[in-house]
Structure 1
Amino acid sequence: MTIPASTQVPVSAVSDVRRWTKASRVAAWISIIVVAVLAFVPAFGSVGMVDRFAALFVYVILAAMWNALAGYGGLVSVGQQLFFGLGAYFTVRIAAAGVDPFVSILLAAAVVGLLSYPLSFAMLRLKGGEFAIAMWVVSELAHLLVNLDGLIQGETGTSLISLNAYPAGTRRVVIYSVALAAMVALLVGLFVLLRSRVGSAIQAIRDNEDAAETLGVNVVATKRILFMLAAFGTAIAGAVWLASATSFQPKTYFSVQWTAYMIFMVLVGGLGRFEGAILGAVIFFAIETAFGAMGVWYLIGLGLVALLFSLFLPRGLWGAVEERLGLSLMPVGYRLDLKARK
């Protein structure tokens, strides 16, 4: 049946390109409020709560940095414990020279970030499995070299003795504050980077590396930015963990288990999604708090959960939410909304 011309209404599509939505603006304000509340946890929280939250902040950093490297840069590494261990090691080494231990944390992370620059020239020549295995090999090599340092005493390890200059209560609050500040700074920095022109190049590489290079994106230079950022952030995480644990044993800090944790968090939360890394860290933290005392069975359970997610939710929890609801709380790309115009 034909509709009379007098009753027909011309319709055309109107596109609206934007980043922020009402949901994302609300999420941003909620994030600010949550951070403000977290800043006061040491004032009313128990000793155990302060320590556990500091651990959560470290997990968020680790997940966000591995997600930046693999989820956006396509650099799947099984050797990120290299930077975690070096961050702790250089903190011990710098503090032993008489530098305040908390200043040593920042200096150690800066040293690791600088060392990652020349390393990137070799590592970024590799792709896929070659890159992943090469990072693990370099991590093992660094582990052996650290053992040769007389200060470390081989696998016996040492302690961050200079922390004893601070009363236990003060030390705990400062460690918590450093962990929170580092987490917020790294997340904000990563968010700003991904929303910049460089971020557009990063996301183009994630979607299709060959196409991005064809369009003029300097793929290697862009990946180097992510490589160095991940090294710096992971080193801070290792240094903060050392400050909380006080003791440094190379086999613990250079264990591949740390990278396994990172992979688990990102896999469960959602690879290549800003919110996914944070969600995955929170889930991992909850699982560890509830089942960490189960030892080997706890690790087996983590592996089983990761396997199930790989099979049934390959895009992770946040990826599934985003796909079904179109919800993006921390948008790093652009959103195209099509509306009907009469």
Structure 2
Amino acid sequence: MTETYKVQRWTSRSIVSTALIAALQFALLAAPFVFSANVVDHLTTLFVYVVLAITWNALAGYGGLVSVGQQLFFGFGAYGAIRLSQAGVPVYAALALGGVGSAVLALIVSSFMLKLRAGEFAIGMWVLAALVQLLVSLDPIIQGATGTSLLALNSFAPAARRADTYWFGLVAMAGVALLLFLLLRSRLGAAMQAIRDNEEAARSVGVRVQLAKRIMFVLAALGAGMAGAVWLATSISFQPNTYFGVQWTAYMIFMTLVGGIGTFEGPILGAVLFFAVEAAFGAEGVWYLIGIGAAAVGFALLLPQGIWGWMERRYALRLLPVGYVLKLQGVDAGRQHGFARRSVPPPPAAMRISEQS
């Protein structure tokens, strides 16, 4: 029987799942009117984790830029919000602009940080985060390690502040996720994956490597900065040691590895799982952190593609497609199903069409 091929991005399953996810996000707007204050606070925390996971995955899983210093942008987003609020900017506008400030900082430091590669880039980002933390601590407003508070939020009634912060976090999460989704489906997203796999080969076929890396770097910083601003709105207080702590990047790595690096859905699943584990075992202190670290190592060794990556390969499950699949037509159902589980091999050109290597 003659075999033909069909390149496909959207399927009936992915169309339905994308529509349901969009509907869920709109439904979540009503949460402050429906759920208790405790549930609303927990959902806001989950939004922060989702943003952190998907942006680190975009940077490392799709762009090949493994950073252990993303706490730089998380902390700077919160610091920028403090500074702008003290300058008289309305508080929620200050929070949003604080996240944008992290993107501006990333644009500046990308001019020299993106010249580093692999381990040099990872460690360099860590060092840069520590340096910025020290500089922020020297700001008289911050009062060193003591920190300060976003005092403008105290003028809001607790219920109103909780609801406004929740909506701010929801919009930030949905906006960053949509921006990433569209970018990864574009030519730039394909170029980033080509750079991840072989930077020299991508450059040789005309990919503007530095520009593509800079855009992804800035976008990841924007997400981390918005997450830091949302976290500040939930806690009000700001201490440099907390906001610039490397544990934030450790959380990002854990969520991405467990969910599935290089997939769009995986980090979202990883964020949900991390949130559930933290809610159940966070009070255990150091043992909780040891368990998180051990789980991350275990997944890296035993299930390197993560939970969603394994499900995607095993069952050809694609809910939010950012790449393409190649399907055989005119073959029996058993062979069709078996072929669909495998990733499409990348073409020799820079513009990859597979979702992950």
Q: Do Structure 1 and Structure 2 share a fold, with TM-score over 0.5?
A: yes
Relative to structure 1, the CA distance from residue 208 to residue 326 in structure 2 (aligned partners, 3 Å threshold; closer, same or farther) is: farther
The residue correspondences of 1:208-219 to structure 2 (distance < 5 A) are 208-219=198-209
Gaps of 5+ in 1: 1-10
Task: Please say if residues 76 and 101 of structure 2, whose CA atoms lie closer than 8 Å, have aligned partners that are also in contact.
Answer: no
CA distance, structure 2, for counterparts of residue 165 and residue 305 of structure 1: 42
* Pick aligned residue for 1:46 from 11, 36, 43: 36
* Pick aligned residue for 2:57 from 67, 82, 86: 67
1:101 maps to a residue whose letter is V
CA drift at 1:341: 7.5
* Pick aligned residue for 1:235 from 215, 225, 243: 225
Gaps of 5+ in 2: 333-357
* Pick aligned residue for 1:250 from 220, 240, 243: 240
1:188 maps to a residue whose letter is L
Task: Please say if residues 137 and 143 of structure 2, whose CA atoms lie closer than 8 Å, have aligned partners that are also in contact.
Answer: yes
2:202 maps to a residue whose letter is A
Per-residue deviation, residues 291-319 of structure 1 (Å, max 9, x unmatched)? 11111110011011111111110010111
SS of aligned partner of 2:319? coil
CA drift at 1:210: 2.8
* Pick aligned residue for 1:163 from 141, 148, 153: 153
1:134 maps to a residue whose letter is G
Provide the residue aligned with 1:313 in structure 2. 303
Identity of matched residues, %: 55
CA distance, structure 2, for counterparts of residue 160 and residue 278 of structure 1: 29
SS of aligned partner of 1:17? strand
Per-residue deviation, residues 42-84 of structure 1 (Å, max 9, x unmatched)? 1110110000000000000000110011111111111000000
Provide the residue aligned with 2:111 in structure 1. 121
- TM-score computed with the length of structure 1 as normaliser: 0.95
CA drift at 1:229: 0.3
Per-residue deviation, residues 158-188 of structure 1 (Å, max 9, x unmatched)? 0000001211100000000000001001101
CA drift at 1:30: 1.4
1:12 maps to a residue whose letter is T
Structure number with larger C-alpha Rg: 1
CA distance, structure 2, for counterparts of residue 196 and residue 314 of structure 1: 26
**Residue 145 (structure 1) aligned with residue 127 (structure 2):** no
Task: Please say if residues 101 and 225 of structure 2, whose CA atoms lie closer than 8 Å, have aligned partners that are also in contact.
Answer: no
**Residue 30 (structure 1) aligned with residue 37 (structure 2):** no
Give the structure, 1 or 2, with the largest relative contact order (CA under 8 Å, sep 6 or more).
1
Provide the residue aligned with 1:297 in structure 2. 287
Provide the residue aligned with 1:180 in structure 2. 170
Please tell me the root mean square deviation across aligned C-alpha atoms, in Å: 1.2
Provide the residue aligned with 1:90 in structure 2. 80
Provide the residue aligned with 1:101 in structure 2. 91
CA distance, structure 2, for counterparts of residue 316 and residue 31 of structure 1: 21
2:308 maps to a residue whose letter is W
